[in-house]
Structure 1
Amino acid sequence: MKWSEKAWERITPIYTKIVEMPFNQELKNGTLPVEKFKFYMAQDAYYLGEFGRALSTIAGRMEKMEHILDFSQFAAGAIVVERALHESYFKTLGIPDLIKPSPSCLLYTNYLLKEAKYADVAVAVAAILPCFWIYKKVGDHIYHQQYEIENNPYKNWIDTYAGEEFAASVHKAIDITDELASEVGSKTQEDMYNAFEMASRLEWMFWDSAYRLEEWPV
């Protein structure tokens, strides 16, 4: 089995909880309260900006030129999506330009930035993979059921993460991670699994925090 296949086996229970959580069930059904979606979109925009920084950092640490190019393109893509959110959903939903990250969002982004800068580069790549892979899986899961719902107000978001362009990036990220995993020892591979699982848990926390409209303690 490839590293990625074993990694997905490890986090399958987490992924199952993600697709079954109220946020994604109500998103699929078009019943998610708009305030929760608004909160999510604002946090996602902040997240994507920091995710782009992490991807850029990893790009600078890669040895192969094609990997440098791939991660530079991933980083640019994250920033482009973040800008697109500002131009569309921010105006539609009335989200302010200045976003204060929630505790879960800040925890997640700080974790990715730390791994991107200080961890073995293979571990850093494993840490950013859930953002690609889980989003694609969730997008596909919802996409294949959402057309049972007429006039789903969240159709545009669903279509983005179930699209072919995003799928190509996901497959490339998985292939690069498998390639790097094949070049390191068992200890580093285990560190990669742990990073992949940690980031997957943080994915769950991110969606859950949006559903709860998470706030900082007073």
Structure 2
Amino acid sequence: MTFTELLRKENNDLFEAIFDHPFVRGLGEGNLPAESIAHYVKADYEYLNAFMQIYGTAISKSSAREDILFYNEQINFVLNSEIHPHRNLCEVIGIRYEDLQGYALPPTADHYVKHMLYHAHYGDLSEILAAQLPCPWTYLEIGKHLRDRFQPGEDHPFSPWIHFYADGEMEELTDHLRSRLDELAENVSEAKEARLKDAFRKSCQLEWAFWDMAYNCEQWPSEKVVVK
């Protein structure tokens, strides 16, 4: 069993919880509150900005040109390709994508970004991979799960979103990240392995929490109206 196969096995509970989350189910069923979709897009736009910055940190910690080229290509992927599922969501709720950009991260998304930034700045390339991998991996499996369960056709409102993650470049990206992490995790110390596992599991937990944050339109306490 490879290291990433072990990670997937040990975190199956979180993957299953993500598949069963009402936001994810709503994508498959074609029915989600507009305010939840807007909240998701606002947060995910800024999250992906941070994801690209972490790719940049990975470049600074890479000695192999192959790694530098890969991360450079992934920055381009986020900038030019991963906007398509966002635009699908915006079209469904009738809001311009540009009108959902530039918002402050809600608490959960803010914590997720800082969790990855911590490992990016204080860890090595293997830690960056462990912290980032759950994002593309869970989205890949979400897309396949929803595609196979709901078989969305052209009339399904979220069909472009589902097929982007199920049938697009996400599998190639996930396979590459897994393969690279397997290489770097080979022959690491027990302490290092535990650190990688912790980074991965926390990111899985935060993936679930991100969906929950979006579904419930999570806000900072100071932004809530307090009724006395």
Q: What's the TM-score, normalizing by structure 2?
A: 0.88
Corresponding residue for 2:76? Answer: 76
Residue in structure 1 matched with residue 177 of structure 2 by the alignment: 173
Residue identity matched to 1:212: N
Counterpart CA distance in 2 for 1:153 and 1:192 is 38
Give, in angstroms, the shift of residue 150 of structure 1: 7.6
- Offset from partner CA, 1:111-164 (integer Å, 9 cap, x none): 111211111321121110001111111111011122267832111111111123
Pick from 152, 159, 166 the counterpart of residue 163 of structure 2. Answer: 159
How far apart in 1 are the matches of 2:148 and 2:82?
A: 25
**C-alpha contact (below 8 Å) 2:131/2:200 kept by paired residues:** yes
Q: How does 1:177-192 map to 2 (within 5 A)?
A: 177-192=181-196
Q: How far 1:83 sits from its partner (Å)?
A: 4.9
Q: What SS class does the counterpart of residue 219 from structure 2 fall into?
A: coil
TM-fit CA distance, 1:75? 2.4
Alignment CA distance shift 1:31-1:84 (3 Å): closer
Asked if residue 93 in structure 1 is aligned to residue 95 in structure 2, the reply is yes
Q: In the aligned structure 2, how far is the partner of 1:148 from the partner of 1:78?
A: 24
Gaps of 5+ in 2: 223-228
Aligned pairs for 1:1-218 within 5 A: 1-81=1-81, 83-84=83-84, 90=90, 92-94=94-96, 95-147=99-151, 151-218=155-222
- Check conservation: 1:67, 1:176, Cα contact below 8 A: no
Q: Is the 8 A contact 1:30 1:149 kept in 2?
A: no
For residue 90 of structure 1, report the CA deviation from its aligned partner: 5.0
Structure 1 residue 14, shift from structure 2 partner: 0.7
Between the two proteins, the alignment pairs up a number of residues equal to 218
- The aligned amino acid for 1:61 is K
Q: Which amino acid aligns with 1:2?
A: T
TM-score by length of 1: 0.92
Displacement of 1:80 in angstroms is 2.4
CA RMSD between the two structures:
2.0
Distance in 1, Cα, partners of 2:112 & 2:151: 32
Deviates more, 1:61-70 or 1:188-197: 61-70
- The answer to whether the 8 Å contact 2:106/2:219 transfers is yes
Supply the AA of the counterpart residue of 1:8: R
Q: Can you give the 5+ residue segments of structure 1 that lack an aligned partner in the other structure? A: none
**Residue equivalent to 2:226:** none
Residue matched to 2:225: none
**CA contact 1:139–1:159 (8 Å) conserved in 2:** yes
The runs of at least 4 aligned residues of structure 1 exceeding 6 Å deviation read 85-88
Q: Matches of 2:189 and 2:64 in 1, distance apart?
A: 19
- Percentage of pairs with the same residue: 28
